[in-house]
Amino acid sequence: MVESPFKPEILRGKVALLTGGGSGIGYEISLQLGKHGASIAIMGRRKHVVDSAVSSLKSLGIPAIGFEGDVRKREDAARVVESTFKHFGRLDILVNAAAGNFLVPSEDLSSNGFRTVMDIDSVGTFTMCLEALKYLKKGGLGKDPSTAGGTIINISATLHYTATWYQIHVSAAKAAVDSITRNLALEWGTDYDIRVNGIAPGPIGDTAGMSKLGLEGDSEQSYGEDASVSKSGEKWDIAMAAVYIASDAGGFFATAYGDLVCNSYRGLVQE
Ligand code: HXC
């Protein structure tokens, strides 16, 4: 990890809400958005995880608040988005990082197991976007009408680009997340000037995903059948992509114009 290449104030005055922002990649994004000037709201299912993340951010002088909530419940999504707005007076950045994962051969996966991950990753992402829309719109509540709309960053993955052993549910869910990203970027980018982008991390060290997939500790080995991937990324790498996208420097990128998928599996690609 190296020092951030971005100025520490590039997100000053912005408010970010992150689902799954209390641990793993989500927490690192919370931390880096906060270090670059944003105020942070974290939503998560585990209160102690959320509380501990908020304390850590506050100890660094980052304005932060935590909310217990499950993205699968629309009432939780609505409550948390509204509470974030009430607390900070605006909402500029929504990061959907909440996800569920476990390794299971398809023949052993129940339809409820499949649905559970779809509900967290895909439906949860859509629900959060929907609830946040009125705050993110150009000239939305609490915003200067002359300013552009807010930004949504959906955290996806790369395992659905091909096929991944024992990940049929996660692959389907992340493919849906990518679709949500593109369609909302088209509709909301055109109608409301809201930028919607996705970040698709490949293998990232020291995360629940890596340990669940049994890849932790394999950082010097190749992943899958792509010999070009010789080591895992760091959470910081993904967080830097999020800082860039959330900042004015990332202003061009939204699917209505060009879709920036920061993809640590094959490098940074623009589609
Ligand atoms: C088979 C399983 C299972 C397993 C759960 N299920 N775990 N099936 N193998 N290991 C099935 C259950 O039997 C049940 O179906 C259904 O899934 C719901 O299970 P619950 O335990 O009731 O669900 P819940 O308590 O809501 O927990 C959700 C979860 C859990 C997804 C199952 O793992 C979770 O909360 N994870 C959140 C944290 C997490 O996984 N983060 C890592 C994301 S990593 P039945 O039919 O029995 O009712 C990531 C990166 C991917 O996304 C890319 C990596 C490179």
Q: DSSP per residue over 127-140, as a string?
A: HHHHHHHHHHSTT-
For the ranges 166-170, 254-258, 263-267, which has the lowest average pLDDT? Answer: 263-267
User: How many structural domains is the chain composed of?
Assistant: 1
CB 111 less than 6 A from any atom of ligand 1: no
The answer for residues whose C-beta is within 8 angstroms of residue 111's C-beta and 6 or more apart is none
CB 209 less than 6 A from any atom of ligand 1: yes
pLDDT tens, 219-235?
Answer: 444 444 444 455 678 89
CB atoms < 10 A from the CB of 48, how many? 10
Q: How many residues does the chain have?
A: 271
In a domain, 6, yes or no: no
Q: 23 is in which domain, residue-wise?
A: 15-270
In a domain, 154, yes or no: yes
Query: Domain holding 77: CATH number?
Result: 3.40.50.720
Sign of the Cα pseudo-torsion (237, 15, 30, 183, in order): negative
pLDDT tens, 8-63?
Answer: 999 999 999 999 999 999 999 999 999 999 999 999 999 999 999 999 999 999 99
- Ligand 1 mean position to 71 CA, how many Å? 14
- Ligand 1 mean position to 56 CA, how many Å? 27
In a domain, 7, yes or no: no
Q: For residue 121, which atom of ligand 1 is closest to its CA?
A: 52
- Ligand 1 mean position to 120 CA, how many Å? 9
CB 123 less than 6 A from any atom of ligand 1: no
Model pLDDT, residue 143: 66
In a domain, 146, yes or no: yes
CB 21 less than 6 A from any atom of ligand 1: no
Counting ligand 1 atoms within 8 A of each CB, the residue from 102, 207, 234, 264 with the most, and so the one to mutate, is: 102
Query: Nearest-CA neighbor of 157 among 212, 116, 195?
Result: 212
CB 22 less than 6 A from any atom of ligand 1: no
In a domain, 5, yes or no: no
Sign of the Cα pseudo-torsion (39, 44, 50, 56, in order): negative
Give the separation between CA 206 and CA 260, rounded to whole angstroms: 25
CB 97 less than 6 A from any atom of ligand 1: no
Q: Judge whether 185 and 129 are in contact, CB under 8 Å.
A: no
* For range 188-201, the mean pLDDT: 88
In a domain, 4, yes or no: no
Q: Which residue has the higher pLDDT, 75 or 192?
A: 75
Closest CA to ligand 1's atom 31: 100
* For range 242-266, the mean pLDDT: 63
In a domain, 105, yes or no: yes
| pLDDT-based confidence at residue 210 (cuts at 50, 70, 90) | confident
Q: Parallel, antiparallel, or unpaired: how do β-strands 39-44 and 195-200 relate?
A: unpaired
In a domain, 144, yes or no: yes
Query: Nearest-CA neighbor of 84 among 135, 36, 24?
Result: 135
CB 102 less than 6 A from any atom of ligand 1: yes
CB 204 less than 6 A from any atom of ligand 1: no
CB 157 less than 6 A from any atom of ligand 1: yes
CB atoms < 10 A from the CB of 102, how many? 14
CB 176 less than 6 A from any atom of ligand 1: no
- Ligand 1 mean position to 100 CA, how many Å? 6
pLDDT tens, 57-100?
Answer: 999 999 999 999 999 999 999 999 999 999 999 999 999 999 99
16 token code pair: 């970010």
pTM recorded for the entire structure? 0.90
Q: For residue 110, which atom of ligand 1 is closest to its CA?
A: 46
pLDDT tens, 123-161?
Answer: 999 999 999 999 999 777 776 666 678 999 999 998 898
Can you tell me the ipTM of this complex?
A: 0.95
